[in-house]
Amino acid sequence: MERIPAGLKGRSFLSLLDISTQELEELLTLAALLKSGDLKPRCNKVLGLLFYKASTRTRVSFTVAMYQLGGQVIDLNPNVTQVSRGEPLIDTARVLGRYLDVLAIRTFAQADLETFKAYSGIPIVNALSDLSHPCQALADLLTVQEAFGELAGRTLTYVGDGNNVAHSLMLGCAMAGMNVRVACPPGFEPAKEILDQTIAIAAARGTEVTVTHDAIAAATGAHALYTDVWASMGQEDLANDRIPVFQPYQLNEDLLAKADPNAIVLHCLPAHRDEEITDGAIEGPQSRVWDQAENRLHAQKALLLSILGPDA
Ligand code: CP
Ligand code: NVA
136: annotated active-site residue? yes
| Mean pLDDT score, 73-96 | 94
Q: State whether the beta carbon of 166 lies less than 6 angstroms from ligand 2.
A: no
Strands annotated E in the chain: 46-51, 72-75, 102-106, 124-126, 155-159, 179-183, 209-212, 224-227, 264-267
Residue 55 beta carbon below 6 angstroms from any ligand 1 atom: yes
Average pLDDT for 229-251: 97
What is the rounded average pLDDT of the residues 81-110?
A: 96
How many angstroms separate the alpha carbon of residue 306 from the centre of ligand 1? Answer: 22
**pLDDT level of residue 3 (50, 70, 90 thresholds):** confident
pLDDT band at 1 (very low <50, low <70, confident <90, very high): low
Given a cut of 90, whether residue 195 has pLDDT beyond it is: yes
Q: Counting atoms of ligand 1 from 1, which one is nearest the CA of 60?
A: 8
% of residues, the chain, pLDDT over 70: 99
Atom of ligand 2 nearest to the CA of 234: 8
Which CATH number does the domain housing residue 243 bear?
3.40.50.1370
What is the Cα–Cα distance from 73 to 63, expressed in whole angstroms? 6
CA separation for the pair 253, 230 (Å, rounded)? 18
pLDDT of 54 strictly over 80: yes
Output the pLDDT for position 6: 87
- Examine residue 1 and state whether it is found in any structural domain, yes or no: no
Answer whether residue 93 is part of any domain. Answer: yes
H or E segment and range at residue 309: none
- Are 113 and 171 members of one domain? no
- Do residues 109 and 247 both lie within one domain? no
Determine the average pLDDT of the residues in 171-176. Answer: 98
The average pLDDT across 22-43 equals: 97
Model pLDDT, residue 172: 98
Query: Does 11 qualify as catalytic in the annotation?
Result: no
Same domain, 117 and 201: no
| Structural domain boundaries, residue 165 | 136-292
| 133 in catalytic set | yes
- Average pLDDT for 165-190: 98
* Calculated CA dihedral for residues 281, 253, 158, 244, nearest 10 degrees: -100
Q: What is the pLDDT of residues 246-262, one digit of tens each?
A: 999 999 999 999 999 99
Across 8-18, average pLDDT? 98
Instruction: Flag whether pLDDT at 295 surpasses 80.
Output: yes
Residues 111 and 195 in one domain: no
Lowest mean pLDDT among 1-10, 57-66, 95-104, 145-154: 1-10
pLDDT at residue 114 in the model:
98
Q: Does residue 256 line the site of ligand 2, with CB under 6 A?
A: no
